[in-house]
Structure 1
Amino acid sequence: MDAISDEAGAKRARGLDRAFEILDFLRQKRQALKPNEIAAQIGAPRSSVYELVNLLLRNGILEFSGGEGRVYLGRKLYFLGAAYENHFDFTRECEAALDWLADETRETAQFCMLDGNKYTVVRMREGARPFRISTDIGQSVPIPWTASGRLLVAHMSDEEILAFIPPQDFRLPDGKWLDSAQFLAEVRRADADGFFTFNSIVDSFTHCFAVPVMGEEGHAAATLCLVAPRADGLANRERYLDCLKAAAARLGQAPTGAKRVLA
């Protein structure tokens, strides 16, 4: 009986893992897809994907969208997310920090974290400029492309970092390759300095600033960032860094219950 129970439990666990894989895949694709398209792209049996999609549809976690049987993330996820945010005071403190940074600097302010082995913007406030500097919230970006990435992996050894980041992520948007030794040296410098700034390697006109927000484990669990026009960023470098450090220090001192989101 125990062996049968263990086998059933393992099957349910695999089903949950696959369900989360489907949800995460749709989040990254940001478009409605047919179940057979999902199965093909995540390399899963069509039968199990159809079964899980139907289960998620019945529970409002997925919804039909775009016709022809396509599905996308359901509105119940919004309500679950809203309940999560209501539970953690940290979210409100984060919003306040971004509002203050955007008002103080007039630049785009971001709160960023790792999502698996990728970087993502979790929260953002656009600056008071006539042109828009922003990024898609929740979009996965290779760690080496970002200023924050140097800080978010700084607690790892060099070997752990290279095992953690997919080799292809060192290929930059222009097709050139970032030398891994250079990246590791920048990680160690960022860790020693407590910040990292550089001219963006994703576009040609912005300068990026990042400082760590320390989690309960004593390393950077998140970052606060500013994205500024290159000339303005370089001209105001020290002031912008002072603003970021002040905001990050306040977030790092958030109440213990609120900081669980950074654990």
Structure 2
Amino acid sequence: MKDIINSIDRALDILMLLYYEQNELGVTEISKAIDISKSTVHRTLATLENKGFVQQNPSNGKYWLGIKLYALGTLAGEKMFFKNAIKPYIKELSKKFNEVVNVSILDNSNEGLPKTILILREEPKNKRFKLNPRIGSSSVVYNSAVGKCLLAFSPNTKELLEPYRGSKLNMYTKNTIRSVDELLEHLKVVKREGYSIDDEEAEIGLTCIAAPIMDTRNQDAIAAISLSGLTSKMNDIGLEKIIEEVKETADRISSILS
């Protein structure tokens, strides 16, 4: 057998255990399953959590695979089923309006407010005005349609934002949400309506509409799809029409993934 670094070997054992169990596990459960001490499991999990490879559920103290694993897999796996399955739908939506369509996920693995990670995009080739965030890039969560959508349909929104209640947020435009308290109230509306809008909150002159791609239980968002464009053109087309199409596309994708 080749030389093995025991600490790395243990960390990978834990990640694979979570993968095969397909469920959150506590320190004691992991310790029994892979036959190492609880103190060693705890230290290993703390290291993995610090790097975003696992995440702890604050409501029960158990652990699950972290968003960084998904981000890495997304960048490495160009033939991933998720991406291949949804690409025709975002291509169709982009073509219908001749606008940029993005798919993003929530990243709450780091300190501070969560961010979004862009995992897939479709942009018309003849588009003069280009929006060029790269695949895998992260963005502020509270001033984007996808960010607000992902937060609204997250299973632990309050836990993610509670430490920052009373905090002021950086203003990107005059329309940017000003505080976490205001954001929490806004997210109630997003969840009720089933979509979110970036009303020139990140950049004046740009509007974005997003809707959630739901998990198999239709309870939580695993990603969000958005359509972005110049505010003037979006208004000319009609926001209600765009909202309807974005929501319908998100629902169709959710149904094929369930």
> Which residue in 1 is equivalent to 2:242?
240
Report the CA distance shift for 1:8/1:182 in structure 2 as closer, same or farther (over 3 A): closer
Q: Are 1:118 and 2:120 matched, yes or no?
A: no
Secondary structure at 1:144's aligned position in 2? coil
Contact between 1:114 and 1:222, CA under 8 Å: does it hold in 2?
A: yes
CA distance change for structure 1 residues 107 and 169 in 2, over 3 Å: closer, same or farther?
farther
- Bigger-Rg structure (1/2): 1
Question: Residue deviations 1:124-181, cap 9 Å, x none?
Answer: 1113421212323222222112112222122457743422669878223369871333
Q: CA 1:124–1:182 in 2, change beyond 3 Å: closer, same or farther?
A: same
Partner of 1:154: 152
Shift of 1:252: 0.6
Written as runs of structure 1 = structure 2, the 5 A alignment for 1:209-220 is 209-217=209-217, 218-220=219-221
Q: Is 2:97 aligned against 1:105? A: yes
The answer to whether the aligner puts 1:250 opposite 2:245 as a matched pair is no
Letter in 2 for 1:21: K
Deviation at 1:222, TM superposition (A): 1.3
Secondary structure of 1:153's partner?
helix
Q: Distance in 2 between matches of 1:151 and 1:169?
A: 20
- Aligned pairs, how many? 197
Flag the 1:5–1:111 CA change in 2: closer, same or farther, 3 A.
Answer: closer
Relative to structure 1, the CA distance from residue 192 to residue 11 in structure 2 (aligned partners, 3 Å threshold; closer, same or farther) is closer
Task: For structure 2, list consecutive stretches of 5 or more residues without a partner in the other structure.
Answer: 1-30, 54-71, 109-113
Is the aligned partner of 1:226 residue 2:227? yes
Within 5 Å, give how 1:193-204 maps onto structure 2. Answer: 193-204=193-204
Q: Quickly say closer, same or farther: Cα 1:193–1:15, change in 2 above 3 A.
A: closer
SS at match of 1:170: coil
The answer as to 2:105 corresponding to 1:81 is no
Percentage of identical aligned residues: 17
| C-alpha separation in 1, matches of 2:200 and 2:105 | 18
What is the rounded CA distance, in whole Å, between the counterparts of 1:169 and 1:138 in structure 2? 27
Structure (1/2) with the larger helix percentage: 1
Partners of 1:144 and 1:169 within 8 A in 2: no
RMSD value, Cα: 3.5
Give 1:254 shift.
1.2
Following superposition, the deviation at residue 109 of structure 1 comes to 0.3
Give the Cα–Cα distance (whole angstroms) in 2 for the partners of residues 157 and 13 of structure 1. 24
1:26-37 equivalences under 5 Å are: none
Structure 1 residue 219: Cα displacement:
2.1
Q: Which amino acid aligns with 1:140?
A: S
| Counterpart position of 1:144 | 142
Instruction: Render the CA deviation track for 1:27-48: whole Å, top value 9, x for unaligned.
Output: xxxxxxxxxxxxxxxxxxxxxx
Cα distance in structure 2, aligned partners of 1:139 and 1:104: 26
Query: Does 216-225 or 204-213 show the bigger shift?
Result: 216-225
With over 3 angstroms needed to count, the CA separation of the structure-2 counterparts of 1:198 and 1:5, relative to structure 1, is closer
Q: C-alpha separation between the residues in 2 aligned to 1:120 and 1:92?
A: 18
